[in-house]
Amino acid sequence: MRPRYGAYLVAAWLGGIIFNLLTYSGFYDIALRDFGLFLAALTLTRLAWAFARSESEPVAERPAGLRRAA
């Protein structure tokens, strides 16, 4: 549940950084880098919502080959 909302928080934070960098001259390359991170945060948000489990959905068990020996 945290990635679904935390990624929006990170995207908003990066948006503020981008706006701040664009108000100064000479920091456009850093603003462009942060814009890429902004897009990545939004993409991770969409993935978190797409693959979110409901609280009532059971957790899948590991396949037999990946179980730890007792």
- Is 25 inside a domain boundary? yes
List, for residues 23-57, the tens digit of each pLDDT value. Answer: 998 999 999 999 999 999 999 888 888 877 666 66
State yes or no: pLDDT of 10 exceeds 80: yes
User: Which pLDDT score is estimated for 27?
Assistant: 94
Q: Is residue 56 in some structural domain?
A: no
Mention every residue, 6+ apart, whose C-beta is less than 8 A from residue 17.
Answer: 31, 34
Give residue 68's pLDDT. Answer: 63
Give residue 53's pLDDT. 67
Would residue 38 count as lying in a domain? yes
* Domain assignment present for 42: yes
Distance CA 60, CA 40 (A): 28
Is 41 domain-assigned? Answer: yes
Distance CA 52, CA 11 (A): 19
Q: What DSSP letter does each residue of 9-50 carry, written as one string?
A: HHHHHHHHHHHHHHHSTT-HHHHHHHHHHHHHHHHHHHHHHH
Domain that holds residue 43: 2-51
Instruction: Name the domain count of the chain.
Output: 1
